[in-house]
């Protein structure tokens, strides 16, 4: 998985223990995170982005290459998503 993460800023997924992660998709409603961590569906985890800060989310689904998170709706989730998008768009290649 590491080769796919090169184009995205590395994040930390805080579940049972910290795990490297990369945001594949994000919006104010939630995100798909590429990671080897396997938190249980329904569990609450935290995602820390080096530029956008941190946010908590609920695990809604597991996939072979990551997890889907749902964020509580509102301005903090939208601000986090926009911060992560802008940081990754302005990152040097």
Q: What is the CATH number of the domain that holds 81?
A: 2.40.10.220
**Angle at the Cα of 58 from the Cα atoms of 17 and 14, rounded to 5 degrees:** 20
Within 2-74, residue ranges assigned H as helices are 2-5
Number of folded domains in the chain?
1
Cα separation of 23 and 81, whole Å?
10
93 residues of the chain, pLDDT tens digit each: 444 444 567 899 999 999 999 999 999 999 999 999 999 999 999 999 999 999 999 999 999 999 999 999 999 999 999 999 998 777 655
Q: Which domain holds residue 66?
A: 2-89
């Amino acid at each position: 998985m590491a080769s796919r993460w090169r184009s995205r800023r590395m994040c930390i997924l805080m579940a049972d223990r910290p795990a490297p992660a990369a945001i594949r998709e994000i919006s104010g409603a939630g995100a798909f995170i590429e990671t080897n961590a396997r938190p249980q569906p329904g569990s609450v985890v935290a995602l820390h982005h080096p530029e956008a800060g941190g946010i908590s989310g609920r695990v809604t689904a597991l996939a072979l290459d990551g997890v889907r998170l749902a964020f509580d709706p509102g301005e903090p989730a939208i601000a986090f998503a926009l911060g992560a998008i802008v940081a990754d768009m302005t990152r040097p290649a």
